[in-house]
Amino acid sequence: RQTRIRFKSNAIAIGDATQWNGDRPATDRGKPRHIHHAEGREVDIGLPSSDDSPSLLRRRCEGVLVEQDELKCAPGTVRDLDVRRLAYFLSLLIDGPTPGGRHVADAARRPGPLAVVETILTDQAYIDEIRKALPALRRKRWIHDEAYGALGEEGLLRPSSWHVDHLHIQFQGERAEVPAVLRFQAEPSPAERKAAGPTGG
């Protein structure tokens, strides 16, 4: 919400996250997506647009296949990406929102983040653009020194192939557990019913 107010812009889309029981998305339908997104600590978010189109999980660069099994952004082809908004949003994840979006230099006086970010995966081309935007945001006092340092240094932002249309964010914390009262046996998918064969007698 603070990002939308600051930039007077549309919402940034949320993509895949852990499904209801802690498994990878769509596992209960027999069509699991991703090798990650289990245990409730990972989520995909879209790339904010600069052309008034919805900020969906959509590629904002020219993709190229490297060795036929890695899709990456071609250098210098990033387009229609609101990189200032993206860098600002990521800084809020790291430092946490502040009342009225004010700059609070003393970290001890801030409410702090809602959750601690462990890793952010995306394409190297987007990482380069994010880091270019950081100095101007700090001069405006829109981001704090802690987020500026974390996003500007190696470690938190990590390049990853096939992340040309979104960012993959992993948070620290314990593995998510589904409360017993919410556990139930999902309906089998058509493929699972077919594999099980006829039942009854």
% of the chain exceeding 90 in pLDDT: 68
Helices (H) and strands (E) in the chain, counts: 5, 7
Whether 182 shows a pLDDT value over 80: the answer reads no
R_g (Cα) of the chain, nearest Å: 20
Question: What is the average per-residue pLDDT within 164-175?
Answer: 91
Judge whether 49 and 39 are in contact, CB under 8 Å: no
Q: What is the pTM of this model?
A: 0.84
For residue 177, the Cα-to-chain-centroid distance in whole angstroms is 21
User: Domain segments of the chain: what residues?
Assistant: 2-175
- Using one digit for the tens of pLDDT, what is the confidence trace for 83-140? 999 999 999 999 999 999 999 999 999 999 988 999 999 999 999 999 999 999 999 9
Length of the chain: 201
Question: What is the average per-residue pLDDT within 2-26?
Answer: 88
